[in-house]
Amino acid sequence: MPQLPRTTGLGFKPEHFRDIMAEPGVIGFFEIHAENYMGDGGAPHAMLAALRADHALSIHGVGLSIGGAGKLNADHLTRLRKLIDRYQPESFSEHLAWSSHGAAWLNDLLPLPYTQQTLTTICAHIDQVQDRLGCRMLLENPATYVTFTQSTWSETDFLTEITRRTGCGLLLDINNVFVSATNHRFDARAYLAAFPLAAVGEIHLAGHDTEELPSGPLLIDSHGAPVADPVWALYAEVLGQIGPVPTLIEWDTDVPGYPVLLAEAAHAQALLQSVKPGQSHAA
């Protein structure tokens, strides 16, 4: 699989299709949610084919439930393989989370304990995914609101061990880091210092919402607001350490007009370009 360009990308929204195609190539790459392109035909595929002709593409799955206790959905893996064969993306990524239980699909990225047992299951799932899809995948760190008493691994150690065992790369979502750090009252910089940055193949940036709990703020990973200042600051620091990395702006709810997304992308691009050209990406 060829690599994503080390520039800024945007999550593709069909309502922006005309704006994008009026001036193709302005954005370095687009990312799609795989599950929205699993119909047989129609407008989604027509738009994606046109988009793909002029842009690098990242396929981001939300449906595999890699962190689930049960078996992976073999039909879904087949559909993903078909999508990858058809559109030849530069990257495929999924989440450290689960979304289905038994036969029920819950449509959310749910958290899991970090134990020896979950580690073994997840590594087996990732081996199966990489084998079936014929490519190295990136695994995204989650934003969480609760943790589990039975966890025996830190999230960063857990992710490090997953990359070591499976050879997968990581998708570092810096908004998720900030959300989880705030919610669980730990230091985002300490988390990033422990994060296996050498395995990072892509960065996600997004906005969040804030609720107030009696004990302090609870941040919600809403993807419905501009990237927050502290997240930009963490992003700049990560770039300083590992050099330019393909970076995606995600905006999935209350999606604004295309110019708003372009402005967010331009901000990320300025930070990417401020990184010394000599600094090379370690992954």
* Whole-angstrom distance, CA of residue 216 vs CA of residue 44: 42
Tell whether residue 182 is a contact of other proteins (CB under 8 A): no
Stretch in the footprint of other proteins (CB under 8 A) among 15-23, 44-52, 124-132, 233-241: 44-52
Phi, then psi, of 110 in degrees rounded to 5: -100, 150
| Residue (of 50, 41, 99, 33) closest to 70 by Cα position | 99
Q: Say how far apart CA 7 and CA 25 lie, in whole Å.
A: 12
Residue given tokens 């790369």 in the structure block: 169
**Chain centroid to CA 165: how far?**
20
Tell me if 73 contacts other proteins by CB under 8 A: yes
Binding mask 214-253 for other proteins (x = CB under 8 A): xxx-x-x---------------------------------
Q: Does 53 engage in binding with other proteins (CB under 8 A)?
A: no
**Choices 50-58, 98-106, 124-132, 268-276 (CB under 8 A): range interacting with other proteins:** 98-106
The CA distance from 64 to 125, in Å, is 9
Picking from 94, 42, 89, the residue whose alpha carbon sits closest to that of residue 64 is: 94
Positions in 189-218 near other proteins (CB under 8 A)? 213-216, 218
State the minimum distance, in angstroms, from the CB of residue 231 to other proteins.
19
Task: Give the tokens for residue 132.
Answer: 């079936």
The span from the CA of 68 to the CA of 111, in Å, is 9
Piece in contact with other proteins (CB under 8 A), picked from 1-9, 17-25, 30-38, 232-240? 30-38
Per CB under 8 A, 176 contacts other proteins: no
Q: What residue ranges bind other proteins (CB under 8 A)?
A: 35-36, 38-46, 62-65, 68-70, 73, 75-76, 79, 98-108, 110-113, 115, 117-118, 121, 145-150, 183-185, 213-216, 218, 220
